[in-house]
Chain A
């Protein structure tokens, strides 16, 4: 699953940084019908997790109430240089992941 992450490339230690993620996923609600009237099965990303150098700093339970191609923005403290790694899974068991490096100075 394609995804985009936006975090500052660099930050000062202790700085609160903005983290944004956009994931390509239809977040199919299970309430729509196709051209011939059949119900399209629900399939949404139900869990999203962000680990900063292996430690979970953010987690979300998502549902069909989150828009297609889900967008989430939150904050985290820049503690050390390393990776922010996102992982997620949908109702069909498909998993996705994306990571972005950050350099923390000071």
Chain B
């Protein structure tokens, strides 16, 4: 295979859906930097968000990774990204076999309707991701209390 074709397909494997709008997507370069050349695969990660946020200041989020969490096969870290927040890398969670289960629950801020992406790094060096859309509306009334 020619070198140019190989590079093109490698880059394609890293690209997340929506990378066609790469100039507007702040998440893609961050995830590429995280994966540092390793393939990024969809799967193993389940990202649960409400379809419609009650309020963008506090949205419940659950990230679960399908992993036995043994010393030989476990999740090392989970990284959370927002495509619209001013700070795209929302949080990173670091686990070990002592976790027993790769699941994190938290509450996050989301600045408007968008896709949220969770990337898991496994002990074998592989990267897996899931993305979920959410609608976030503004409050009905202004509040200057």
Does a CB–CB distance below 8 Å link A and B in the complex?
yes
* A29: chain B residues within 8 A (beta carbon): 86, 109
How far, in Å, is A70 (CB) from chain B's closest CB?
Answer: 7
Interface centre among A17, A66, A70, A71 (most CB of B within 10 A): A66
Q: Is the CB of A77 within 8 A of B58?
A: no
> Quick one: CB contact mask for B73-93 with A, threshold 8 Å, 1 for yes?
000000010100111011111
Q: Is the CB of B107 within 8 A of A58?
A: no
Given the known A-B contacts A65-B82, A65-B87, A70-B107, are A60 and B57 also in contact in the complex, defined by CB atoms under 8 Å? no
Interface centre among B80, B103, B106 (most CB of A within 10 A): B106
Is A36 at the interface (CB under 8 A from chain B)? no
Cβ contacts A to B, 30 pairs, < 8 Å: A17-B100, A31-B86, A57-B99, A58-B94, A58-B95, A59-B93, A59-B94, A60-B92, A60-B93, A61-B91, A63-B87, A64-B85, A64-B86, A64-B109, A65-B80, A65-B85, A65-B91, A66-B106, A66-B108, A66-B109, A67-B59, A67-B107, A68-B57, A68-B58, A73-B106, A74-B95, A76-B98, A76-B99, A77-B99, A77-B100
